[in-house]
Structure 1
Amino acid sequence: MIDPSFEGRRAFILENTRLQTPPHTPELQLHLADEITPIWKMTEEALAEIGLPPPFWAFAWAGGQALARYILDNPKLVAGKRVIDFASGSGIVGIAAMQAGATHVLAADIDGFCGAALALNAKANGVAVDFTDANLLDTPAPAADVILAGDICYEKPMADAVMAWLAQARARGTAVLIGDPGRSYFPRSGLTKLAEYQVATTRELEDQEVKKTSVWTLAA
């Protein structure tokens, strides 16, 4: 079994990933795995738990890559602002926001590995990003100027809950940007498309080697 401490998870990540450059964000380096099945199985074995969700922290998913690209290309959206990277995974979006000039980024993900992955990835890119593993959906969104959310619509109940939470934040004046490659449960109304990209990925993760992926903003 893996040492459940932060350092134990950090060591597990270092042993089972390698520093790579995501295809759509060559400015960034992340500790990523090459194949999903082996590291997924190793995570379950290490924690002695079966049926864990995929190790989202170990890959640069299409929605996150597109959202990070958009932020890097449009830094004024986050420069000088407080940002939340919701469902942060590897931290690619939050790291991009810090590189684009955000004053503070809080990355949030309920997967305990994400904190260790974020720490490694933030260090590799020379930025500092705070992390919480609290489920932010249980409370109103923390004070922030911008919420960034990539790849949040894999399952309908979660997609519905996240979109309702984001709508509440938007109603209070927080800007909301979402990156999504057209997943089944992504909503088709109340959003404005800001950009569209062809994001190189892998059949390890997606049904195509290049995914048409868009960045959206939640309407006021």
Structure 2
Amino acid sequence: MKRPGTPRPDPATFIQANLPISPVPSIPEIRLHTAGPASGLWRLAGRGEADPPPYWAYPWAGGAVLARHLLDRPETVAGRRVLDFGAGSGLVAIAAAKAGARAVTAVDIDVNAVAAIGLNAALNDVHIAAAATDIIDGPPPEETDLLLVGDLFYDPALALRAMAFVRRCQAGGIEVLIGDPERAHLPHRELNRIASHTVVDFGAGRGPVQAGVYSLV
């Protein structure tokens, strides 16, 4: 259980001390700080020990399939300004930078995720501008050519808001690519599947899944 009155540790210091570095399954070109059974993430999040772990601490299939796709098809991002939306660990942003993107920005609402993105970017020798901010109900981001969305369709309310945001981005001239292992609320009728890759998914008990890369209809 959560211990009241215990100060939260510095995120970067905690991550370096408690989340070991390992290659991402299916994407050995990228290494991340990844949580293990003894990481004690509840101390960093200020939650109880029985609460769900934060999403940024693990590689999820939606991000993994996008990362694999970008590394295999670097022309997708080469020379472009890329924004990783709901970036989590920064896996997709790192792949975009490695594939030759002109500039990469990663945004997430969790300040601990932003700390992890900074550490993970340094591990992989890439530069990423990371920010803890919520842009989902706002206008299309400026100076962005490509929006990357990994694994945001696990919750019905979030899925609706995410699709409204990516539609605004599309209307504003921004290309959108979505990575997803067919979570329950993925809006198939609004998407074209352009690629498939077998990746490992933390949400499937760390087993392999066939995940897709999608563009908007």
Q: TM-score, normalised by structure 2?
A: 0.90
Deviation at 1:94, TM superposition (A): 0.3
Is the 1:94–1:129 Cα contact (8 Å) retained in structure 2? yes
Q: Which runs of 5+ in 1 are unaligned?
A: none
Deviation at 1:206, TM superposition (A): 1.4
2:111 corresponding residue in structure 1: 112
* Alignment of structure 1 residues 54-93 onto 2, 5 Å: 54-93=53-92
1:164 corresponding residue in structure 2: 164
2:11 corresponding residue in structure 1: 9
Structure 1: distance between partners of 2:156 and 2:52? 15
Match of 1:48 among 43, 46, 49: 46
Is the 1:83–1:106 Cα contact (8 Å) retained in structure 2? yes
Q: TM-score, normalised by structure 1?
A: 0.89
What SS does the aligned partner of 1:102 have?
A: coil
- Of all paired residues, the percent bearing the same amino acid is 38
Is the 1:2–1:9 Cα contact (8 Å) retained in structure 2? no
AA partner of residue 159 (structure 2): A
Is the 2:81–2:101 Cα contact (8 Å) retained in structure 1? yes
Is the 2:140–2:172 Cα contact (8 Å) retained in structure 1? no
AA partner of residue 116 (structure 1): A
Query: Whose strand fraction is larger, Structure 1's or Structure 2's?
Result: 2
* Alignment of structure 1 residues 169-208 onto 2, 5 Å: 169-202=169-202, 205-206=203-204
What SS does the aligned partner of 2:25 have?
A: coil
Alpha-carbon displacement from aligned partner over 1:137-182 (angstroms, at most 9, x marks no partner): 1311212100001010111000110011001101111110000001
Structure 1: distance between partners of 2:183 and 2:57? 20
Is the 1:84–1:106 Cα contact (8 Å) retained in structure 2? yes
Is the 2:82–2:103 Cα contact (8 Å) retained in structure 1? yes
AA partner of residue 74 (structure 1): R
Is the 1:159–1:185 Cα contact (8 Å) retained in structure 2? yes
Alpha-carbon displacement from aligned partner over 1:59-95 (angstroms, at most 9, x marks no partner): 1111111000101111111111111000100000000
What SS does the aligned partner of 2:127 have?
A: coil
Mark the CA change 1:114 to 1:46 in structure 2 (over 3 Å): closer, same or farther. Answer: closer
Q: Which runs of 5+ in 2 are unaligned?
A: 1-5
Is the 2:86–2:152 Cα contact (8 Å) retained in structure 1? yes
